[in-house]
Amino acid sequence: MSETLTRRKLITTGLAGLAGIAGISAAERIANGYGLVPPDSGGIWGVGETLTYAAQRMLMSHHSMAREFSPCEISKSIPVTNGAPQTDPYQRHLANKFRDWRLMVDGIVARPSSFSLTEIQRMPARTQITHQACEQGWSFIAQWSGVPLSYVLNRVGVSTRAKYVVFWSFDPRWDSLDLTDAFHPQTLLAYNMNGQDLPPDYGAPLRVRVPRQLGYKSVKFLTRITVVEDIKKVGDGRGSALPSHGFSWYAGI
Ligand SMILES: Nc1nc2c(c(=O)[nH]1)N[C@H]1C(S)=C(S)[C@@H](COP(=O)(O)O)O[C@H]1N2
Ligand SMILES: [Mo]
């Protein structure tokens, strides 16, 4: 039996079964052995989170692609969840057209760096028309252009110890991705939406677009990206600002 089949069987029958029969800790121990426990796992909800994340990571190819659409499918109206921060630093950068803004990239990387918007716009670009779904029930299709996150990560040289990439924003929102999603070819640092500079409400100057997860993982108004090994040491240790509000860290679709 191939490695994949063994793992698949483990996840679909063994892990789920163990969660029921032998309880949470046994299932978690096994998932942990395969590096499949999400950062917000814990307590009774953690079992669900672990099973969802583990099953997705095992059953789907790491590079399975989110669907891309044609230009005629782009949505006419686009909802905004939380618009541009009204705070002083953000508004000053906005008034200055982000000329002095820089994206910091640090953590366990060979070359900690910071990049201006112009530098980022000169990097190899990818344009894709994808679907963004908010957990609140609405969704839309838009075209985003940006640099693949993988390109920036390779520029700074990610340590072999790295496990997560953390995103920091002008607002209190922060989030993280595992390396599978961080290096996925459709995961972009986007500066352009529907052919125009990313509007402030939609994340200017730069936002994450991770089309394989729900909208809330696509952090807007980026300031900094940090590569880490131990996510438990970041913030409240649950991989994102959102688990403390009842949302799961992993929001794969
Ligand atoms: N920094 C930051 N990023 C964020 C949010 C936020 O409030 N702050 N909202 C998230 C949520 S809940 C969703 S659904 C999407 C919405 O993106 P949109 O405004 O482009 O529709 O952005 C996500 N990124
Ligand atoms: Mo959302």
Torsion of CA 110, 111, 112, 116, to 10 degrees: -150
| Pocket of ligand 1 contains residue 133 by CB under 6 Å | no
Q: Could you confirm whether domain 71-245 is CATH 3.90.420.10?
A: yes
Closest ligand to the CA of 241: 1
What's the pLDDT score for residue 26?
66
Report d(CA 196, CA 116) in Å as an integer.
Answer: 18
What's the pLDDT score for residue 1?
39
Q: Work out the mean pLDDT of the chain and round it to a whole number.
A: 88
Q: Is the pTM above the cut of 0.85?
A: yes
Closest ligand to the CA of 144: 1
What's the pLDDT score for residue 46?
62
For residue 78, the ligand 1 atom closest to its alpha carbon is 21
Q: Does residue 2 carry a pLDDT above 70?
A: no
pLDDT tens digits for range 210-220: 999 999 999 99
pLDDT tens digits for range 17-34: 545 545 556 666 767 777
For residue 83, the ligand 1 atom closest to its alpha carbon is 19
DSSP letter string over the chain? --HHHHHHHIIIIIIHHHHHHT-HHHHHHHHHHTT---TT--HHHHHHHHHHHHHHHHHS-TTPPPP---GGGS-SS---SS----SHHHHHHHHTTTSS-EEEEEESBSS-EEEEHHHHHTS--EEEEEEEE-TTS-EEEEEEEEEEHHHHHHHH-B-TT--EEEEEESSS-EEEEEHHHHT-TT-EEEEEETTEEPPGGGTTT-EEE-TTB-GGGS--SEEEEEEES-GGGSTTSSSSSSGGGT--S--B-
Site to substitute for ligand 1 among 216, 225, 249, most atoms within 8 A of C-beta: 216
**Span(s) in the chain for CATH 3.90.420.10:** 71-245
Q: Does residue 12 carry a pLDDT above 90?
A: no
pLDDT tens digits for range 50-79: 778 888 887 776 678 999 999 999 999 888
Q: Ligand 2 (ion): which residues have CB within 5 A?
A: 81, 134, 215-216
| Pocket of ligand 1 contains residue 81 by CB under 6 Å | yes
Q: Does residue 236 carry a pLDDT above 90?
A: yes
How remote is the CA of residue 72 from the centroid of ligand 1, in Å?
24
Q: Does residue 13 carry a pLDDT above 80?
A: no
Q: Given the structure tokens 């921060």, which residue do they identify?
A: 85
What's the pLDDT score for residue 3?
44
Site to substitute for ligand 1 among 103, 166, 220, 223, most atoms within 8 A of C-beta: 220
Residue nearest to atom 10 of ligand 1 (CA): 216
| Pocket of ligand 1 contains residue 169 by CB under 6 Å | yes
pLDDT tens digits for range 78-133: 888 789 999 999 999 999 999 999 999 999 999 999 999 999 999 999 999 999 99
Give me the amino acid identity at 4.
Answer: T
- Record the tokens describing residue 177, joined without a space: 């991705």
Q: For 54-68, give the secondary structure using H, E and C.
A: HHHHHHCCCCCCCCC
pLDDT tier at 221 (50, 70, 90 boundaries)?
A: very high
- Record the tokens describing residue 125, joined without a space: 């670009």
Q: Report the pLDDT averaged over residues 228-253.
A: 94
| Pocket of ligand 1 contains residue 202 by CB under 6 Å | yes
Q: Does residue 15 carry a pLDDT above 80?
A: no
